[in-house]
Amino acid sequence: MANTFKNYTSASVGTSPVTTYTVAGGTTSVTIGLTISNTTTSQIKIDVQAAGVFIIKDAPIPSGSALSALDGKVILEAADTVVVTSDTATSADVILSVLEQT
């Protein structure tokens, strides 16, 4: 079984859901970090879903700040997704770190 550390990013996330990551077939992923930064001059609220359930909902991020959305690890199976949505257009950058096991 191969283990590979990878980062996935999404820039300028806005009010439409953005799929930052989809687990490939035959792969299990361990999420080890998820940071979302507010790139605007106003506070925003963020939603993050993994495998169709909310990790965080309406989490406020002050202007110029960032939020680490994981307190622990989340295991994702093949075809699971990580989806991020903001309440403000083009307002957030996302970086997701995973350990992929194939």
Sequence ranges of the domains in the chain: 3-101
d(CA 50, CA 96): 12
pLDDT higher than threshold 80 for residue 57: yes
Position 1 scores a pLDDT of 75
More confident position, 1 or 32: 32
- Topology classification of domain 3-101: Jelly Rolls (2.60.120)
d(CA 20, CA 50): 10
For residue 16, count other CB atoms closer than 10 A to its CB. 8
Mean pLDDT of the chain: 97
Angle, vertex CA 17, rays to CA 33 and CA 56, nearest 5 = 45
pLDDT band at 15 (very low <50, low <70, confident <90, very high): very high
- Strand ranges in 39-91 using DSSP code E only, listed in sequence order: 44-50, 53-61, 66-68, 74-76, 81-86
**Mean pLDDT to the nearest integer, 65-69:** 97
pLDDT higher than threshold 80 for residue 78: yes
**Mean pLDDT to the nearest integer, 81-98:** 98
